Structure 1
Amino acid sequence: MSLRNQQPSIDPLQTAERLRQLGLTPEVLAGSIQHGVRAAERIGSTHPPTAQGFMLWSESVAYLRAQLTADGWRQANPQNQPRAISPDEKVSIHRCFRQ
């Protein structure tokens, strides 16, 4: 399965302003997805069957949290669910994917 042709469901014209209100940008979210896709594309036939999906999710989460931490967000893992929490603690975000 090639992940390169899958496009994130982000409509910049409808979401950019709301993301800014939440302290986010389309670029950070798109970068997170792109980072995860690049990592998943390195998975080969000798990897376990779930490796591609795990790498997509895991590397996207790591990128997103690293970018947001640099902007003052903090990391949390309630019930083993990795999140980034805004400096004012009003926004909590985690990465999920659907196919």
Structure 2
Amino acid sequence: MSAILSVYSEPDDVSARLGSMGLTEEPLLHAARRWYLSWISFTANHPPFGIGIAAWMEAVAALREGLLPIGWIRSDEKNYALVVHPGGSMAINVATGDAGTGLPTANVSNKAPKGTSTADAISVNQVQLELDLPVPDMPHVRGDEGPLTWFLLLHRAGTEVRCELSLPSQISPDGRITRWQERIMLPSIPLDGSEIEIVAPVGPDLDIDVKRKA
């Protein structure tokens, strides 16, 4: 069993590791900015149960907008929202992380419990990474096929949004990720009162055939 946890926090190391995965920081940070702006757009008049869901949906959409133009693929199989590498070797899920998110020396986990789809994905990770770790007692857990599933973890702290791209390798029966194989620390987004700029990703031009209705 490999218990080695690799943590990338130095800017050059982060850029190099992301580059080896066909990624850069920008589409990941774009998703984090959209996630935060969705959170702060809600008021006391909005139903509180919808805030986290809406922010998560914005982050997923933003991540896809950044990665689909370079060949990544959208997947919603079993309503599990992923964006998948063109070669099928890895996928990215978006989730809210706890207070350890983005801190290389802290323990980190997902803030809200995850269900069988995440357990399925992590069981696949275990097989792909050849890890001898216990699988939680959940129904429908597979473990022999599929991409490595990484998590883009997002966390709102007092003065910043912290985020990381990390590879889980173990989940508890109550839906908390308890072990990670790799953690890649992304630059934090300061919340100092200045405007957060959202730049729309550049995609291919589309020719649309417009015809007059008969």
Matching of residue 94 in structure 1 with residue 90 in structure 2: no
User: TM-score when scaled to structure 1?
Assistant: 0.80
Corresponding residue number in structure 2 for 1:81 = 80
Corresponding residue number in structure 2 for 1:23 = 22
Matching of residue 56 in structure 1 with residue 45 in structure 2: no
AA at the equivalent of 1:64:
L
Q: Gapped runs of 5+ residues in structure 2?
A: 1-7, 99-214
Shift of 1:36: 1.2
Q: Which has the higher strand share?
A: 2
Q: Does structure 2 retain, via aligned residues, the 8 Å contact 1:16–1:26?
A: yes
Corresponding residue number in structure 1 for 2:66 = 67
Computed over aligned residues only, the root mean square deviation of the Cα atoms, in angstroms, reads 1.7
Corresponding residue number in structure 2 for 1:38 = 37
* Alpha-carbon distance in structure 1 between the residues aligned to 2:32 and 2:9: 14
* Alpha-carbon distance in structure 2 between the residues aligned to 1:42 and 1:12: 33
Q: Does structure 2 retain, via aligned residues, the 8 Å contact 1:43–1:51?
A: no
Q: Which has the higher helix share?
A: 1
* Alpha-carbon distance in structure 1 between the residues aligned to 2:9 and 2:61: 23
Q: Gapped runs of 5+ residues in structure 1?
A: 1-9
Q: Deviations over 1:57-77 (max 9, x none)?
A: 110000001111111111001
Matched positions, count: 90
User: TM-score when scaled to structure 2?
Assistant: 0.39
Shift of 1:88: 1.0
Shift of 1:93: 0.8
* Alpha-carbon distance in structure 2 between the residues aligned to 1:39 and 1:18: 29
Give % identity: 26
Q: Deviations over 1:10-36 (max 9, x none)?
A: 946242211111111111111100011
Based on CA coordinates, which of the two structures has the bigger radius of gyration? 2
Q: Does structure 2 retain, via aligned residues, the 8 Å contact 1:76–1:83?
A: yes
* Alpha-carbon distance in structure 1 between the residues aligned to 2:10 and 2:59: 19
